[in-house]
Structure 1
Amino acid sequence: MAEQQQKIVHRRFPLLVRILLFLYVAIVLVFLGLMIGFGILDNPFGVFRIETWEHIINLTGS
């Protein structure tokens, strides 16, 4: 039987780095989406205030 040689794959970025980069980009995009969506109504940075989220929670009837 001929021996099969295993091909070693050298990745440019390790798996952990790719996962962390993906999470970082996802979080940044969520915050940008919140700012754009809220910016249509009011000041885009108002989405980061606690009062804004308390108001939203009160509107939902919780």
Structure 2
Amino acid sequence: MKKQSKMLVHRRFPLAVRLLLFIYIAIIIFFVGLMIGYGILGNPIEIFRIETWEHIINLTGE
């Protein structure tokens, strides 16, 4: 049997960069999803207003 030499794999993006990129894309997709979902009910830009979140929290908290 031949010994397999350990080959170093050079990755284009290090693990930390891939994790940060994944988190960044996940946050963008989250907010785009919020805008699409809220856009069905009203103005999609209103999802970024603090009053909208206060209203949502008040509805779920009671």
Classify the TM-score, shorter chain: 0.7 to 0.9
- Aligned pair in 2 of structure 1 residues 16, 61: CA closer, same or farther (>3 Å)? closer
Taking only the aligned residue pairs, the percentage that are identical comes to 67
- Structure 2: runs of 5 or more not aligned: none
Query: Alpha-carbon deviations, 1:3-57, whole Å to 9, x = none?
Result: 6521111001111111111011000000000000000011001001010011111
Provide the aligned length of Structure 1 versus Structure 2. 61
Structure 1 range deviating more: 2-11 or 50-59: 2-11
Instruction: Please provide the CA RMSD for this pair.
Output: 1.4
Identify the residue that residue 5 of structure 1 maps to in structure 2.
5
| TM-score, normalised via structure 2 length | 0.87
